[in-house]
A and B are shown apart, each in its own frame.
Chain A
Amino acid sequence: MKSLATLVALVASLAAPAQDTGELVRIVTCPVYRDTDAGRKSGCWLATDRESGQRYDVSWSPYKPDWNYAILVEGRVSEEPPTPCGDTVLRPVRTSRLYEIPCTRHMLPAEAYPGRKYKLQGRYIDPLSVPRKTPPGPYAQRTFTAYFEYGNDFLIYQYDDYLLDNAATWIRAAKPGKLVVTGFAATDPVEVSGVTLAEPVELARQRAETIAETLRRLVPGIPVETRWQAGTTRSDDPDADTIPGQAERRVEIRAVF
């Protein structure tokens, strides 16, 4: 059954942006905003690896930086040309805001870089007015996953909402007896760019409760149990986009019959 679930997840992941398996980059740094203007949401987010001096374009992150705070960058070097923003593109990429580390806000002018014209793509949901397609049965125990930025229990727009909308559509059709929601946090300390990173165990509980509350609203009437687990754990779910750190910061939703 697990293989079936993996297959379904793989098929679902085809909706996500194209990924590659380029070199993994993991740094902590201050973000810089480049004020490119190709219309709405077209600005560039840049992040420099202080050790190598290499600056990256991290604009593809679904959760973007705040120029007042440091970010944890996790991404893979892409072969996309640097044309839009001027720097090596990381894609897939995640940027987590580190609110404990203030940064001096800095904005670069466009300097003739065009930025990227915003286009609705990847993981986004339809309005409620669009009927969801009922996934075909038979239905059996299945696990869905939602992901979070480092140190955060906030649902990521155009990422988690997409994953949860798909999960809720399946759950409505399958009508499991209950949902078991398990929160995970990356609690094992790691040092990145001289900064020790370790999520508190409490965050695993908060993530589980955030998702549980959302499920109670999306699929009312189905009992939801929450659990949480200490210690960093891995996952090979394709929706983590080959970023190991992303896979660790997750909630699993197990539909039990």
Chain B
Amino acid sequence: MARHRFSVQSVFLLLATVIGAAAVSIAAARPPLPRWWSPGEGRVFPEQLDYQNDEGTLRLLLTGGKLDTKGHPFFEPIGRNGRACVTCHQPADAMSLSAQSARERWDATGGKDPLFAAYDGSNCPSLPQGARASHSLLLDRGLIRIERAWPVREWNGKAVTPDFTITVVRDPNGCNSGPDHGPEHGNISVYRRPRPVANMKYLLAAGFPFDPKQGYALPIDPRTGKMMSGNIMADNRTGTLRLQMEDAGSTHLQMLKRLGEADISRIEDFEKRIFTAQQVGKEAGALDTLGAKGGPAHLRDSEPGALGSIGEPVWSEFAKWEDISPEDAKTLTPAQLAFRQSVARGAKVFRDKTFLISDTAGINSRIGFGNPVRNSCVFCHNMSQMGNDVAPGQVDLGTTTMPFADPMPDLPLFRITCLKAPHPHYGRVFYTMDPGFALTSGRCGDVGKITLQSMRGLAARAPYFSNGLAKDLRGVVDYYDRRYDIGYTEQEKRDLVNLMSVL
């Protein structure tokens, strides 16, 4: 389905311009603001900004007043490839980047946009950069190349001796072999979706002092003395926004010098002020009506880090739609009523439909929940309002690792050999397309673990999972259904998809 090319705000602006045409000359009309934010545009980021998508309208709220982005390091091209942070964290895409936006940008610029920088916006810098095929992972799956050091380094830069070896089995893009690339040359290339830079207070919140999956207390940021949530990056390679910025600056932006203190402060300030969620459902209508609390305002106003099982249940924002009174139902179209009831059912399925979770490191090992353990989606997606994990969320769902992952022949495949104890679920030798957290911890038992992320703004940022395995929300549900043999009914699948479409 073709997507609207302009933001709702820009449509209103256009409308206002048309209405005022009698009094104002056409030459004075303001051109509509493009959906894509290019680096260095100098736009003003308003306190409220809406964008339409296939499922309705996404809303962004900026606390503390509007922001003039001129000269702001999140929006300016501060590296040598012409990119800014906003290049891969687009407001219309819930501060992430959808594959569709990447494709539209390719078409609009003939592949010249800084998004397609050879370093990581192509499958490998060694490929001919003018060819679309050289950027297929970004265009088809929304993936950015991530080059990690081998042997691995922890979040604090400390060298780690891994307890596994890694051998390249398949290298379709040439970035894990050849003269400069691959483990033999001190690096490993994996491909991941950009994570949303919004609702950060939730991702930074430390709910409890322990990481039960790793069996330690949470690590402490030496600069602030505060515990780090472990929920920022897919592989937990940076524990703070500062470290993430430094990592991104030297890689994605190809900065030649380190970010300055003032720039770090300004970026962090912006990232902590931005909240986003779907505000209007295409079928449901406004998501904060008839008692529901959809939209980003509730996110902005709630306390982060609460466990849904002992506080506000996850996705209870839509609990009031479980039982819409006949009187209220009269205010809705039949389609709106049906969709809202479906969303409410989806929230209950998400919380209450249990299934057996097995052979999943981070749940079934090393932590002692048992293998298998019966639980529901909220076992891991347990933080109120956000659906990420209150504890650091490094879990191996199998999305990157065989035999659970889909084949995905356009991604590299690595053979992992555990040097000490075998992996509890995969054995001594197994195969993965992305070792995930193990590229930070150096532990064989962590191979394939990917940090859970926010579930907000999903409608704006397909595809899903760290490697873009699911092209749409139905693909997410179908993956879980076959991975854990859940046996969702068709109705339950639709309800879950509808729920996720309004988050």
The yes or no answer to A20 lying at the interface (CB within 8 A) is no
Task: Give the residue of B215, B219, B306, B424 whose beta carbon is less than 8 angstroms from that of A210.
Answer: B215
Number of interface residues of A (CB under 8 A): 43
Stretch at the interface among A35-43, A75-83, A235-243: A35-43
Whether A128 pairs with B206 at a CB distance below 8 angstroms is: yes
Whether A37 pairs with B374 at a CB distance below 8 angstroms is: yes
Question: What mask results when residues 230 to 256 of chain B are scored 1 for a CB within 8 Å of chain A, else 0?
Answer: 000000000000000000000000000
Whether B354 pairs with A40 at a CB distance below 8 angstroms is: yes
The answer for the CA separation of A153 and B366 in the assembled complex, in Å, is 10
Q: Which of A42, A69, A127, A220 has the most CB of B within 10 A?
A: A127
Whether B371 pairs with A65 at a CB distance below 8 angstroms is: yes
Give the chain A neighbours of B260 by CB distance below 8 A. Answer: none
Whether B217 pairs with A217 at a CB distance below 8 angstroms is: yes
The yes or no answer to B372 lying at the interface (CB within 8 A) is yes
The answer for the CA separation of A37 and B374 in the assembled complex, in Å, is 8
The yes or no answer to B497 lying at the interface (CB within 8 A) is no
Q: Which A residues from 198 to 225 make CB contacts under 8 A with B?
A: 210, 213-215, 217-218, 220
B285 to chain A, nearest CB (A): 33
Provide a sorted-by-A list of 17 A–B residue pairs whose CB atoms are within 8 angstroms.
A35-B374, A40-B375, A40-B376, A41-B375, A64-B368, A64-B369, A107-B372, A127-B207, A127-B305, A154-B215, A154-B366, A157-B212, A161-B210, A213-B217, A217-B219, A218-B209, A220-B225
Task: Give the residue of B212, B216, B370 whose beta carbon is less than 8 angstroms from that of A217.
Answer: B216
Give the chain A neighbours of B208 by CB distance below 8 A. Answer: 125, 127-128, 161
The answer for the CA separation of A67 and B442 in the assembled complex, in Å, is 26
Q: Which of A33, A107, A125, A217 has the most CB of B within 10 A?
A: A217
The yes or no answer to A63 lying at the interface (CB within 8 A) is yes
B133 to chain A, nearest CB (A): 43
The yes or no answer to A257 lying at the interface (CB within 8 A) is no
Interface of A is mostly: loop
Give the chain B neighbours of A39 by CB distance below 8 A. Answer: 352, 354, 374
Task: Give the residue of A61, A165, A213 whose beta carbon is less than 8 angstroms from that of B209.
Answer: A165
The answer for the CA separation of A120 and B306 in the assembled complex, in Å, is 16
B128 to chain A, nearest CB (A): 48
The answer for the CA separation of A99 and B365 in the assembled complex, in Å, is 11
Whether B368 pairs with A156 at a CB distance below 8 angstroms is: yes
The answer for the CA separation of A67 and B217 in the assembled complex, in Å, is 28
Whether B218 pairs with A43 at a CB distance below 8 angstroms is: no
Whether A155 pairs with B216 at a CB distance below 8 angstroms is: yes
The answer for the CA separation of A218 and B366 in the assembled complex, in Å, is 21
The yes or no answer to B18 lying at the interface (CB within 8 A) is no
Residue of B nearest to A151 (CB): B421
The answer for the CA separation of A75 and B425 in the assembled complex, in Å, is 27
Question: What mask results when residues 418 to 443 of chain B are scored 1 for a CB within 8 Å of chain A, else 0?
Answer: 00011011000000000000000000
Whether A41 pairs with B365 at a CB distance below 8 angstroms is: no
Whether A155 pairs with B215 at a CB distance below 8 angstroms is: yes
The answer for the CA separation of A107 and B227 in the assembled complex, in Å, is 40
